[in-house]
Structure 1
Amino acid sequence: MASVRSDGGARPGGTAGLGVGLLVAVLSLQFVQGVLGAFHTPLLAPMARTVGMRDADWNLFDSGTAAVSALALPVLTWLGDRWGHRRLVVVTVVLVAAAAWLSVAATSVWTLFLAFAVLGVATVWVPFALAIARGRLSGDVGAGLARLSSAMVTVFMVGSVLATAAGGQLLTRSGAWSALQEGLAAGNPPSQIPVFREGLVLVLAIPAALTTLAIPCALLLPRPTPQPSRAPGALRPRSGQFLGTFTLGLIVLGIVGGFALLKLEGSAAAIGWILIVVGGCAAILHARWQTRTTSPAIDVAALRDLRCGPYVLALGLFAICHTAASVPLVTFVATDRERTGYGLSATPADVSLIMLTMILVIIGVAAILARVRTARTRLLLIRQAPVLIAAEYTWFLLHHDVLWHALVAAVLGGLGAGVLSVGLTAMIAAGAPPGRTAQQVGLAGVVSITGGTIGSAVFAIVLHDGAGGDATAAPYAGYVIVWILALVCALATAVVLWFARDPTRDPSLGHLTSTSSAPAPLTPEERPS
């Protein structure tokens, strides 16, 4: 990673230019975010029993978290670019820690829903981290951000692996799960089974305590350097920008909500289609308004530039063909072949092996990408990565009968996903206009959330009908359609990235400034110390 020499020059390699405090804080938050994203997955059924909720109602929680993230990302990243990223990081870590403890004490559906929705605020940590790091890098900024992104993805995946393995095992070994099964068989509600309730509370307290420990880690982030030459009020938010940012959040919230309704109620849900159409029209009008205002909340000019826009669009397509399509892949391999005539009849251990294979490949690719020093090589790898994801679904369309077929698909998908997970975010951060790094990366996060929600809704509609002798299984034809759609999205991602350009070719990044007559002021963290 680019670091600063004593003579003022820059040299590639290492992380000395960022400082130990920043690295510890950023990587600690990524580990916590990985744990929060995976620890609760094996515990969903026990938590549902505690508050008297059906397993299927967890879709509402997914939709609620996505909706809060879609609304919070534009607003919080804009506030971070104006009022300081470090301050907003500390505030959001405290909020997420409080939500984690609320999930421990939750005794009703709505309390648990509120806790999981606020946990979605953690998505702002990535854009804030990259924004702070960019201001402290010199030399090849793109290489520095790529190395930091690689480390962040690796630590995030390590946290996910450990949390996935620990969550269910701890509850099972504590005796809480067996106590729940025995109590339910005897006709007792979960609230009257103290062994189960106490065991679940102790297990859920682990991620809550870990998030609480992340608060002092967040305080290790470097404080912004004083800027006496800055004009008074330069960092004061403009009402027009806040209105534009908040409006964008509401638009995305409406679109995400519309697709969530289609996912829950099916394609016949008229209100879902209305929200999508109205949100799409509002997004077009919002973009036209942003091009005409002198203080835009979203730099539309930057999104039109080939050094930024293709990466943002590719991130949304990647969320469809990888994130959203991974759930149907898991449900297919777990389908009972004897009852339906298709599937792999995989056990939970087999499914864990497949997912662990993909995660380990992603970690390995992220580590390798961190050692790539030239921007040309990074861009070449990013352009080729979607082809590997397309190869994953092509392979699975032709071979999906035994476990090793799924493992080969996991390796191919992990190779492509590892490059895109690291490379796209780093390119977007490197190409963001000065003073708007977090806002631009946050916008890319909104696009990713929206893309994942759209893909998830479309795939849920395709797989809606039951099949064969198992009423819970999705039809084989539906799975084939999902794989074809994912294949098409992967190829579309490759086409989009073919037009992408290196955002670091112009050191001044003047081509990415907004249409405003006055460029956005640098935040304190983005001003070199």
Structure 2
Amino acid sequence: MHPSHDRDPARQDVLVSGVGGVGARGALGGVGARGALGVVGVLVVVEFASGVLQGYYVPQLTDIARALDIADADVNWLEGGQLALSVVALPILAKLGDLVGHRRMLLVALAVTAVASLGLAFATTFPVFLTLWAVQGVYGAWLPLEIALIAHRARTREDPQATTRAGAGVVVAALEAGAIAGALAGGSAQALLGSLRAALLVPGVLVVVALLAVLIGVRSTGERAPGRLDGRGAVLLGSALAVLTGALSLLRLQPGSGLGWGVLLLGLVLLAVFVLVERRVDDPLIDMRVLARPAVWPIQLAALLFGVSVLGAQGPLSTFVRTDPAAVGYGLGLSSGMLSVVIGAYVLALLVGALLLGPVSRLAGTLPTLIAGSTIVAVGYLALVPFHASLAEVLVAMVIAGLGSGTLVAALPAAAAAVAPAGRTAVATGLTNTGKSLGGAFASCGFAIALATGAPAGGTAGSYAGYLTVWAVCGGTALVGAVALLVVPAAAFPKRAAA
């Protein structure tokens, strides 16, 4: 990237809107009232919509399952399908963002998400709903493209890493605020609007508003990186993930099936072929050479493992707290409105964790902050294994996990941007979301199998052992992620960049 593309002082002063009061104002060098027109100010609208998408549906998952006539365990296939598609779509959109413009691809991703979100309100069968839900996962590309826009404008700043991190903190804070609003609104929307269909229209309308905000309020940087889209890599990655997801579906329907294990092996072979092909391509979809750098691969591995808990555990948490303990002996038996309170507390903790990123990283440094965040996530989920019999126990564990998750949501893409080579900012930040989505996709499918195994006969509830497995896996993978971050070279993040 070339800083000369964005040397206009007026544009430098409008990096962030007045919402920078959450902690970015000082780091960005002081922003006046005109900052409300800045790129981060517009991106706050987009990430607020993203947060609503991530929080709004969770209180309604049980109602959606009943409307589609599926069991609670099958809810995980919605998340798994969405994440699997986003794993393919995200690197493609991130790469195209570097090639043809981050603003242009952000608009494309917003438009696709809007169509899918509005379509959910009119889907009456599980296959159609699952397809639209999967396509909606394109919103996973929003944040990497946004951070790339911020990083480009920050390159002429005195400390671009700190500026990018501050901007990332602001938009992630908006994401978490949207998730809180979505969780609280999702629990009461059906009662207020009179039907599930009307309630499902709300997120789509909000995405359209975000689309218009970017269309009007964000100007193109005019920057283009050289290269081309790796179509062969995209086909191989998509095929591998489709086969792997199909294998997990077979194993869900027929545990121990020889066919299911055979298809799973085929998917792993295709994934290995994808890696080998990408290493030989001059301009790959996922640059394995960059990924293998000592400063890069631990961050990406931590993102993949983080996806297991932050994305894969949403469905199980929702269905567990709504499971009737009088019927099956476990669960909390909460209404959708009370579930909104649980989700709201969790996402509020996410917001606090994201806002603490700046001051904590200034005091402790980037790497210690990342390691601490992953460790805190592990503590929260592992606490759920013995402590889940009351609302208070679940709330405490989820708030702990939320604090660590909020730190990682903001820190991982900013850390990836900091070590990215010029012209690969969106790809590097996109890799963190790709890895996170990949971890979440496999976890969701695996959790669906765990919850279906040993489930009470004749009912819709997931199995008790399955829920314990979910929380243990989430905690264990977070611990492994913390260990992986220990090997990042300290020189990758100089002390000045942590300020």
Assess same fold via TM > 0.5.
yes
Partner of 2:233: 244
Residue by residue over 1:468-492, the C-alpha shift from the partner in whole angstroms, topping out at 9 and shown as x without a partner, is 7984444444433333333321221
Query: Partners in 1 of 2:191 and 2:415 — Cα distance?
Result: 43
Partner of 2:3: none
Unaligned runs of at least 5 residues, structure 2: 1-5, 16-25
Q: TM-score, normalised by structure 2?
A: 0.82
Distance 1:173 1:506, change over 3 A: closer
Distance 1:266 1:450, change over 3 A: farther
Distance 1:48 1:325, change over 3 A: closer
The alpha-carbon deviation at position 270 of structure 1 amounts to 4.5
Query: Partners in 1 of 2:45 and 2:259 — Cα distance?
Result: 41
Contact between 2:318 and 2:339, CA under 8 Å: does it hold in 1? yes
Alignment of structure 1 residues 285-304 onto 2, 5 Å: 285-304=273-292
The alpha-carbon deviation at position 242 of structure 1 amounts to 3.3
Which of 412, 425, 428 pairs up with 1:424? 412
Query: Partners in 2 of 1:60 and 1:395 — Cα distance?
Result: 26
Partner of 1:224: 221
Distance 1:482 1:98, change over 3 A: closer
Partner of 1:501: 489
Partner of 2:183: 164
Which of 1, 20, 23 pairs up with 2:40? 23
Contact between 1:73 and 1:446, CA under 8 Å: does it hold in 2? yes
Aligned amino acid, residue 118 of structure 1: V
Residue by residue over 1:272-330, the C-alpha shift from the partner in whole angstroms, topping out at 9 and shown as x without a partner, is 43343223223333323333333333222222222111111011111113432344344
Query: Partners in 2 of 1:407 and 1:90 — Cα distance?
Result: 37
Residue by residue over 1:357-400, the C-alpha shift from the partner in whole angstroms, topping out at 9 and shown as x without a partner, is 22111111211213446385232111112222222234333433
Partner of 1:67: 84
For 1:370, what is the secondary structure of its paired residue?
Answer: helix
Which has more radius of gyration?
1
Query: Partners in 2 of 1:64 and 1:428 — Cα distance?
Result: 26
Which of 442, 447, 456 pairs up with 2:435? 447
Alignment of structure 1 residues 401-412 onto 2, 5 Å: 401-412=389-400
CA RMSD of aligned residues (A): 3.6
Query: Partners in 2 of 1:286 and 1:70 — Cα distance?
Result: 14
Query: Partners in 1 of 2:39 and 2:260 — Cα distance?
Result: 43
Partner of 2:20: none
Aligned length: 473
Partner of 1:188: none
Partner of 1:437: 425
Distance 1:44 1:493, change over 3 A: closer
Which of 189, 207, 214 pairs up with 1:211? 207
Aligned amino acid, residue 144 of structure 1: T
Aligned amino acid, residue 250 of structure 1: S
For 1:422, what is the secondary structure of its paired residue?
Answer: helix
Distance 1:106 1:494, change over 3 A: closer
| Percent of aligned pairs sharing the same letter | 29
Structure with more helix by fraction: 2
Residue by residue over 1:210-231, the C-alpha shift from the partner in whole angstroms, topping out at 9 and shown as x without a partner, is 2222222112222224x7xxxx
Partner of 2:173: 154
Distance 1:144 1:257, change over 3 A: farther
Higher mean alpha-carbon deviation, 153-162 vs 252-261, is at 252-261
Contact between 2:370 and 2:408, CA under 8 Å: does it hold in 1? yes
Distance 1:504 1:139, change over 3 A: farther
Matched, 1:259 2:248: yes
Query: Partners in 1 of 2:259 and 2:30 — Cα distance?
Result: 50
Contact between 1:361 and 1:415, CA under 8 Å: does it hold in 2? yes
Distance 1:356 1:4, change over 3 A: farther
Distance 1:399 1:72, change over 3 A: closer
Higher mean alpha-carbon deviation, 387-396 vs 123-132, is at 387-396
Query: Partners in 1 of 2:135 and 2:108 — Cα distance?
Result: 12
Query: Partners in 2 of 1:48 and 1:330 — Cα distance?
Result: 12
